[in-house]
Amino acid sequence: MPGILLGDVFPNFEADTTIGKIKFHDFLGNSWGVLFSHPRDFTPVCTTELACAAKVSDKFTQRNVKMIALSIDSVEDHVSWSKDVMAFHPDKAGTPMPFPIIADHNRKLSVQLGMLDPDELDKDGMPLTARCVFVIGPDKKLKLSILYPATTGRNFDELLRVIDSLQLTAQKKVATPVDWKPGDKIMVIPIVTLSCSRGCNQYPVCNVM
């Protein structure tokens, strides 16, 4: 199935969304982006996910990240379902979703990006979109991808954590260890080649004993 690899320029697709037709690179501008798909509107797990995404959307905005969702449903369904999603937040009931949702009813974009789940089918036997996550940098290149099956909901706190790591490591020659969070210790990536006293030039792994 077609897909996209880390470091690839993300396709500059055109799509109908809940905010009108967009061209993806224009939508992102100079921001980072998170494109995440869900199987169907009006389903329990998807509703909890989009409700969580809406709740933490300001945290993505603070990181200069634009969010956009996708499923195979129509724009009309997205708009109607958004009311159910926002009802999870009584203080925001009646307000629009803080990010757009792409309508991919013909599955063209889902196929192009490798987002379909062959084990989850609709009533016509057609595959639904899996729970994909793509993080795109300001250079429009893919920085991270995660693929969840339809049966497993995502953790948006983890997405924020990896975005913090991606943004830090994009600016500095460092790496972040397991369970890293902002403020924790980081690792400096070696950028200078050193030689041992015997001149083997194999630092940090020396084969001369």
Measured from the Cβ of residue 67, the count of other Cβ atoms closer than 10 Å reads 22
For residue 97, give the CATH number of its domain: 3.40.30.10
Domain count, the chain: 1
Cross-strand partners of 21 = 16
In a domain, residue 1? The reply is no
207 inside domain: no
Does a structural domain hold residue 193? no
Range of the domain at 150: 14-154
pLDDT by residue (tens digit) across 112-170? 999 988 888 888 888 888 999 999 999 999 999 999 988 899 999 999 999 999 999 99
Residue 105 maps to a domain: yes
pTM: 0.86
- CA–CA distance, 23 with 70 (Å, rounded to integer): 14
Note whether residue 52 is domain-resident: yes
Residue 201 has pLDDT above 80, yes or no: no
Two structure tokens written together for 57 = 């959307």
Q: What are phi and psi of 67, to 5 degrees?
A: -100, 145
Domain membership of residue 164 (yes or no) is no
Greater confidence (147 vs 191) lies with 147
Percentage of the residues of the chain whose pLDDT score is greater than 90: 71
Instruction: Determine, yes or no, domain membership for 80.
Output: yes
- Whether residue 198 lies inside any domain: the answer is no
Active site residues: 46, 139
